[in-house]
């Protein structure tokens, strides 16, 4: 069974590109456009990995990450944070909140795919 990946981003074009990349690698993909939808999709779709944007309406990626990590039932869930802000403090915050990896936009598609594969 192929791994399931949830893509969370409010930029439609970025979602399109991520969706294409992940599907091409043979993953099953679901999409959410904001933090609240992301939490709902995690419950409904039960992904193995979440590609999570930080700056989103309604609920930021940090909050989503925190909430996911607070749920012991999802201890195995991998979280890759995606953000346009590459400052050290942001990276540290993401890692402190329990993200498995941190990718800065604009990202290299090959590196992103490699990172996702290495985590699964």
Partner 1 sequence: MLQGWVIVLAAFAYLGILFAIAWHADRRADAGRSLIGNPVVYALSLAVYCTAWTFYGSVGRAAATGIGFLPIYLGPTLMLALGWLVLLKVVRVAKANRITSIADFIASRYGKSQLLGGLVTVIAVVGVVPYIALQLKAVSNSFTILSHYPEIVMPDRAVAVPLWQDSALYVAAVMAAFTILFGTRHLDATERHEGMVAAIAFESVVKLVAFLAVGLFVTFGIHGGPVELFDRAREAPELARLMVADDTAGGYGRWAGLVFLSMFAALLLPRQFQIAVVENVDESHLKRAVWLFPLYMFLINLFVLPIALGGLLHFGAGGVDADTFVLTLPMAHGAEGLALLVFIGGLSAATGMIIVETIALSTMVCNDLLMPVLLRLPRLGLHERRDLSGLLLGIRRWAIALILLLGYAYFRVAGEAYALVAIGLISFAAVAQFAPALIGGLYWKGGTREGALAGLSAGFLVWAYTLLLPSFAKSGWLPEDFMSQGMFGIDLLRPQRLFGLAGLDEISHCLLWSLLANVGAYLGVSQWRTPNVREARQATRFVDGVIDRGADGWRGSARVKDLLPLAGRFVGPGRAREAFAQYARSRGAAGVEALPADAGLVHFAESLLAGAIGSASARVAVASVAKEEPIEIGEVLDILDEASQVRTANERLQELDRMKDDFISTVTHELRTPLTSIRAFSEMLNDDPKMPLAERTRFLGIIVAEAERLSRLINQILDLARLEAGRVEWIRGEVDLAGVVRESLDALGQIVKDKGAAVEMRLPGAGPVVLADRDRLVQVMLNLLSNAVKFVAPGEGRILVEVDAADGQARVAVADNGPGVRPEERELIFEKFRQGTGDGGTLTGKPQGTGLGLPISRRIVEAFGGRMWVENAPGRGARFLFTLPLKGGDNGGAIATGATGGSQ
What residue ranges bind partner 1 (CB under 8 A)? Answer: 10-14, 16-18, 20-21, 24, 33-34, 55, 57-58, 84-85, 87, 105-110
β-bridge mates for residue 30, sequence order:
6
CB of 14 to partner 1, least distance (A): 6
User: What span, in angstroms and rounded, lies between the C-alpha atoms of 58 and 64?
Assistant: 10
Tokens found for residue 58: 């309604």
As measured in angstroms, the least distance from the Cβ of 50 to partner 1 is: 17
User: Cis peptide before 106, with omega less than 30 degrees from 0?
Assistant: yes
Q: Which is nearer to partner 1, 69 or 107 (CB)?
A: 107
CB of residue 73 to partner 1, shortest distance in Å? 27
Tokens 């969706």 — which residue? Answer: 19
Name which of 11 and 74 has its Cβ closer to partner 1: 11
Cα distances from 72 to residues 87, 105, 117, in angstroms, run 29, 30, 23
Q: Which is nearer to partner 1, 74 or 91 (by Cβ)?
A: 91
* Cβ proximity to partner 1, 57 vs 95, nearer residue: 57
Closest CA to 27 of 50, 52, 10: 50
CB of 11 to partner 1, least distance (A): 6
């Amino acid at each position: 069974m192929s791994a399931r990946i949830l893509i969370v981003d409010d930029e439609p074009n970025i979602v399109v590109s991520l969706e294409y990349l992940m599907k091409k690698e043979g993953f099953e993909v679901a999409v959410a456009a904001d933090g609240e939808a992301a939490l709902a999709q995690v419950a409904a779709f039960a992904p193995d990995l979440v590609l999570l944007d930080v700056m989103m309406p309604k609920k930021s990626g940090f909050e989503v990450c925190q909430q996911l990590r607070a749920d012991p039932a999802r201890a195995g869930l991998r979280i890759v944070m995606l953000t346009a802000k590459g400052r050290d403090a942001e990276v540290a915050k993401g890692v402190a909140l329990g993200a498995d990896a941190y990718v800065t936009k604009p990202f290299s598609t090959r590196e992103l795919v490699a990172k996702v594969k290495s985590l699964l």
